[in-house]
Structure 1
Amino acid sequence: MLIFIIQLIVHQFITCVTPLPPIIRIGGLFGANDTEQELAFHLAIDRINSDRNILQSSTLVPEIQRITDGDSFHTNKKVCSLLANGAIALFGPLGGQTALHVQSICDALEIPHIECHSNSRDMMSDHISINLYPKPSSLSRAYVDLVKAWGWKVFAIVYEDNHGIVRIQDFLKEAQQYDWTIKLYQFSDRPYRDIFWEIKMTKVFHVIIDVNRLNIFTVLKHAQQVGMMTEFQSYLITSLDLQTINLEDFKFAKTKITSFRLVDSTNPELYSLMTDWTQLASKRGLNNASKPTNLLTESALLYDSVKLLATALQDLDQSQSITMPSISCQSDNQWQFGTSLMNYMRPITFRGLTGLVDFDQFGHRSSFTLDVMTISDDGLQKIGYWSGSQTLQPLNISDEWRDNFSYMSLANQTLIVTTIINPPYCMLRESSKTKYGNDRFEGYIVDLIDELSKLLGFKYKFKTVDDNKYGAKNETGFWNGLIGEVLNGKADIAVVDLTITSKRAEAVDFTLPFMNTGISILFKKPTTKVTTLFSFLSPFSNIVWVYVLAAYVGVSSVLFIVGRLSPYEWDNPHPCRNEDFVLENNFSLTNSFFFTIGSLMQQGSDLTPKAMSTRAIAAIWYFFTLIMISSYTANLAAFLTVEKVISPIESAADLASQSSIEYGCLASGSTRAFFQESNISTFKKMWEFMKNRDVFVDSNDIGKQRVEKGNYAYLMESASIEYSVERDCNLTQVGGLLDTKGYGIATRKNSKYRGLLSQSILKLQETGRLLMLKEKWWKQKKGGGKCTDDNKKSSSVTALKIDNVGGVFVVLLGGLSLAFFVAICEFMWRSRKSTAGCETMCEEMINDLKFSFACQSKSKPGKRKSYEDNVNNSSYNTLSQPQVIRGQFTNKLDY
């Protein structure tokens, strides 16, 4: 005991007589773009040296070296030069591969290494280093808590490099237990907008972005360019420096952009530093250094790290005497006080620019606090905080913003829903028992609200609007109907077939449309059907009839010519009188026309072709008539059984151009406003007609009753017309849509319900649930499907055009050409055989042609010899040549 007391006294004496040296050198490693961080490092040293609350007898002297990331060789030389000059600790560099190299040197020589940047690794206890930046696993817990609070189930994560995926690996591990659907995207060398376009195509609305601070604005801008910066998208930025980015271009987009902030904006020391920034910069000779609007996280961490080192030096000085090192990288000598200095840093706790600074045994920040920041119309603002302390609730967010972000923020709330009784949207339930509350109602919007309540977890209570109006602004500037009840607080939301218009949107907010529609015309079906005297001509179009007539004339003419040319069509009418050299041809001009018309009528005739050529013509004509008659018969039955119904009006233009049929619309609603404000001449004319005749009605039911009475057209939304014509077979829709509009749910301005309801409507649309509800109430319930679609008229039966039957004409022409060719061959062959010794073949052919083209069946030729004679008498040349009888041809050819 006596020896221990003596050693303690000696140690205290040595400590008192050997205090810290007056100059303490610390090294700083900065890159070319780290101007603000370097200045914050200098300013922190100046504050320590000027306040004298810490290190009262020593002065910190910064030794700065600028390095290039990835240049390990020059980094090694500059680190060794700092240690040779007596630096007792190294700050930086701020990220990159060189940070690992610097740490390895400090570990080898036991020089404290203080880091202030995000990295992808958690340090071990044997490292002579400490990092004021929160470790990745702690930040991952913060991200998980925030995503859970927002209620995200499906989202995308986009990152820039491999370090990004390593930083969020703890987040991915924790996400597995929540059954989240996560899609990973890496920017790599592609433009950011290509990635966001892929995300948009997959219909993912929530995105976590892990990119370098310098690229955040570009990333968000590219998202905006592809339409991914709307009120339906939500973004979580992993960077802690979102407050330093200019978000002016995004604050009015209603996009939910969230991030964390480590810098404590309420710290008085931060306010003092920012106030004296310019003065302190000038003192350091940095007159061109502009004061930042918001301090970077790394700058604030560097400021706190200098204070941490100074406090640790003071504590170490009070416990033992230390000497300043002069370390050489070429030797194996280590600084004997390096580990002690690092051990004195870890227990230190103080409140700095980044909040509470304390560490665990591994040198990690433990009880830090992150501010939850989000974008609004006024810029980035704090909406809550996340605490890494084990004793506090991790995430605290104001109820207003939790409701704005959370998908289930309407849970256990009761919404008052105002509506109008209008089938099929909302109807009173038919029952033998008295119904109360929501059980009184049924219909499309009742089912719609029920589906939305299942998604969002809210309860609801229906009420009918007091004045039975949709909503219009009166002369006093107040809104009536559904819109008025939402504005005056009688209801939270209004839903029925409520059209989204610009004037209504000025007063209330609308969700995404749950149904698209447009104005159309409801009219009574005509009862008289149009018949015509020549309905039998309808199966063929006019051009086809012309072609058929041309084919008939052409085939008859060709048959006549070929019949005259072919020698096989000439016969002896009196076979028993061989001495009479008389030949007869049955295919005269009139007979040829009769033969073709008889075949066309499928009645036949007593004429039969004998030659190959004429038979070919007949065969191809039979084929032609077979196809044409079959097509005509098939189409005629449809035309005679389906008669056209002609409506007196076919469009809005027809309605505007006449005055015998009255037309009108609902007295209060978007349809009236459409015609009243339209600049189109047709619609302006219709508005003047309706206004002058006062044909407005108080409800759609009254309008439909007037239509059923006749001579009245009612203008209403096409969705309601579809419902009516499915049940009343006397009504029909005339023309197309006059405009395009949608039905939406009305909420008060800036209501928290709007975004949540819109997201849920989008989900119902994607899953097909909205279509199923429409099919249910339009075509199945309450008499749906009663009327068949008579509006198709005879549009399903159209006249056959030349494109339909053109092939048979081609076949006909081909057959005629073949028959004509065969006839020429026959003619030439017989002419060669019948040539007399004194005549040439050409003379004989000319004589035969003259005879063939004579429009008679019989004739008395001169030099022309009988084909029959040539056939029966092979010694034709020995006969005496008959005398030519000139004159008018008779019906027979006599020799």
Structure 2
Amino acid sequence: MEVICVLILVWSTLTSNALPPVIRIGAIFTEDQKDSSVELAFKYAVYKINKDRVLLSNTTLVYDIQYVPRDDSFRTSKKVCRQMEFGVQAIFGPSDPILGAHIQSICEALDVPHLEARIDFEPLSKDLSINLHPSQEHMNKAFKDLMTFLNWTKVAIIYEEDYGLFKLQELVKAPAAARTEMYIRQAGPTSYRQVLKEVRQKEIYKLIVDTNPRNIQKFFRAILQLQMNDYRYHYMFTTFDLETFDLEDFKYNSVNITAFRIVDVDDPQVKESLEVMEKFQPIGHAILNKSGIIQAEPALMFDSVYVFAKGLAAMGSIKPMNLSCDVEKPWDDGSSLYNYLGDVDDLRGLTGNIEFNGGKRSNFKLDLLKLKKEEIRKVGQWTPSGGVNITDPNAFYESHAPNITLVVMTREERPYVMVKDEKNLTGNARYEGFCIDLLKWIAGQVGFQYTIRLVPDHMYGVYDPDTKEWNGIVRELMEKRADLAVASMTINYARESVIDFTKPFMNLGIGILFKVPTSQPTRLFSFMNPLAVEIWLYVLAAYMLVSFTLFVMARFSPYEWNNPHPCHQESDIVENQFSVSNSFWFITGTFLRQGSGLNPKQSSKSEPSRLFSFLNPLAMNIWLYMAGAYVLVSITIWIVARFSPLEWKEPELCDDCLLKKYSILFEFDEHCEHDASSGIGSDAADDLASLPNNDNDIDEVIESINDPCLSHEHADGRTLEILENGFTIGNSFWFAIGSLMQQGSDLNPKATSTRIVGGIWWFFTLIIISSYTANLAAFLTVERMITPIESAQDLADQTDIAYGTLEGGSTMTFFRDSKIGIYQKMWRFMESRKPSVFVKTYEEGVQRVLEGNYAFLMESTMLDYAVQRDCNLTQIGGLLDSKGYGIATPKGSPWRDKISLAILELQEKGVIQILYDKWWKNTGDVCNRDDKSKESKANALGVENIGGVFVVLLCGLALAILVAILEFCWNSKKNAQTDRQSLCSEMAEELRFAVRCHGSRQRPALRRSCTRCSPATTYVPAALDLPHINGPMNLMEIQFIPESSQHAQRRDAAHDGPEEVAHQLRRRHLAATLRWGHVDVRVHLQRHPGLLRGPVQLPPAAGGHPQLQGHSAVPRSGEKKCHAGT
């Protein structure tokens, strides 16, 4: 008995923890779903579970199906409450969202799990609700991702049900791209055609269609009737059942039809399940489509039943309970069962992996389907975590479409598109150019035929703010009169907002085209260019300052005062000019290329490496001109020197060399007036007749005279010799200019102070001349191009040079819409300039540039093309911006991405670069520019380069001749006054002597009289010492002409003896010593050659008086003036 009680207790415990043998479930279907595939799928799932004794081995599922009107929520609620009273443990359905919301509220109140297979609009999770359909949030995200991938920017959304807008509201609120344009319309079977017409009129080619699957065939018919089934249109359906519909009418055109699916019929497990289902007749055949594919809703219903069974099995025990909607007492095990249902995992159904998060489907996969090559094919998939993954890249970029012919709009522009000259050509053969070749490559890559048309208004396309319309190619694309635009069309924001562009096939920027500045005409005085005007003025000022400083320093330094005639050949003292200081001075002067007045007696010559290489820097005609200039200057110097009295000076010879060296004639001219303190006045010798006639008396008079002009005795008894200073004010200026010209001046500083001044000046001239020479080479050998503008800033800052752009082009838009100040300024200038600076074509712009005073703002590629074909054109500055050329398509064109991929491939293969070289560099009209920067040697200088130097030389020679003539006239006037004869006769006499060629190295000295021993007006023969005449002199003629009767009478002394000649010479010596008057001594040696046999013996003067010795006896300009002794 006890054993029986224990067994009963154990059995009751086991039975209390086990599932009941029968579990009742309820299902709600709308009346239109009676015997539908959804209902059959539900029944088939219950059948499969009951037959499978593994999942629920001891439990049988029993369903209670109720049919309700789609628009009657009250009756639906009553039927659900009746099911609750019969003790159902779960409610399935309905598919209608409104009815489903009412049922869900009842289930939530009674804690009965509610399993759905419909789209849910609510983003939040609901208690006791399990939905196997992906949420609308996930679906909208999938649509967005696909739109982004396909680059849809203009989309039409067509929905049929009233709640369709709620389904897609998130897609409308937050489109795939911020610039996406949405057009939303509701349409039913009766209004499909009307709505599609509106879409076509608005030129929208991308459509999202959310229509009832029962009416989808009617929608397909409307598409065909309106012929909206070409390649431009792309339809994305929200249904999961695209492959279950008949698409036979769309298989042979290029329309794009895309949709997602949730049932992967290619999955082996799903395929096996469908095969088993198809064999279960007649239900299986009714569930599956004619193609053997199950639709999404039946599949979701089938999986929902399995989810319930899986959760129920996991729970293990349950206590069924009859519920009432009136009492609203919840089911005790309802929440537990709901939790088990939500935790179902490791379940793969017809819709793939089944997992839930808060009652919503998660971690699922959607297959992307597309009509391709006469069938629906899987081309990718979408997951909530990974987004769109395209498994077939060619799905949206067909590589071959031979039956498609596209209209390609272009614009004639060299070298992109050009019309051939042949008149018998037709069609596409009429055109050639870079874009034509590129189009051929792209058509071959993508796979289409094309017809080329030229844009009617010859414009690329620009937006007119006044009319608010586009023109040119852009308008043609917007109005769908063209499928592509292949031209030098710039990608910019304004155009991109109304049309689409492919990836750029060429990168460029805006450049400035300008005429090559012509070489400035070579000026004769171009040698002045290396130094600025102020530098020349500074050099002149430095020259003046150094010259004056040298003059002052030489006056103060005692070392600059020296004996001007150290002619003492009998001296036993000799001097070496190369002392230590002079040696250093010699090296310094040599280094500074100025000389030093120290000349080595011998020098060695080195043979040049090339005998005539020094001729290379100058052209041959320049060397010939220089040779002519050398001859001309030499003759001019000779002529000027003969006319200028300042170039005549006495030879500086010693006494014993006088008659030996001078065999033609000499003239002694001396005038001097002594002070009253000298003891000899001008009134003491009014007439030569008052002089003694006896030779001894004459010698005594001469010996007794101490001429103050020869020596000066101070009160202390010291006798000072007369010295001269070589650095007169004139010589100082001559020294400075000689140093500057690197020629020397025969004036050599001797004192430390003057050497410092000279050395500093030499260093200064070294730098100046070296800098000038170095820069002169560049100025004369390098062709200088002076460009008035160098950048856009230079253009904006001036108004003389006009500048403009192509009218209606992207460059014009760039300046018009720019926010940069300098470009705004340039736009205002271009907009207000009259006549207009805008051109219709690039050729017109280039022509205006060639005409001058015009700069053309254009794309760098076109600029490069123009510059390479015309050597008179050049680019100024760099690029103003960076952009690219692209192939334009209408908004949302499917060809955009296909062509972009083709362009990228052509770039990687180098095809585009090959085409660029073909049309830019390899044509026969390329300009050959001389790259002077790469020349190996400098150009020889021509007359046009340094001709100004010859002009300066000729002007200097002319000035010298003019000055010589003035000096000649002035000197003749002075002599005429002195000689008391007419100016004409004096000029005639001087001119006759000047034009003599033979025997004219010496001339009679100029005759002047001085009043106060003025050195500036004293001329003395170069060497004359006649203190005594001892012995006969065989002179042919000796004339003494007193000043009173000079040139009035001549006396022939041919028969006078030597005694008379000596007498006359002594009287002349006395007269010169007394500064009596003018004395002419003319010695003609032609008839007395005996004078050449030996020197004339002249005994020294008695009494130790000084002798007359040429120059040294008379103060000159710059000498220390002598005065009578005290």
Answer 1 or 2: higher relative contact order, Cα 8 Å, separation at least 6. Answer: 2
The TM-score range, normalised by the shorter chain, is 0.3 to 0.5
Normalised to the residue count of structure 1, the TM-score between the two structures is: 0.45
Task: With the length of structure 2 as denominator, give the TM-score of the two structures.
Answer: 0.36
Larger C-alpha radius of gyration, 1 or 2? 2
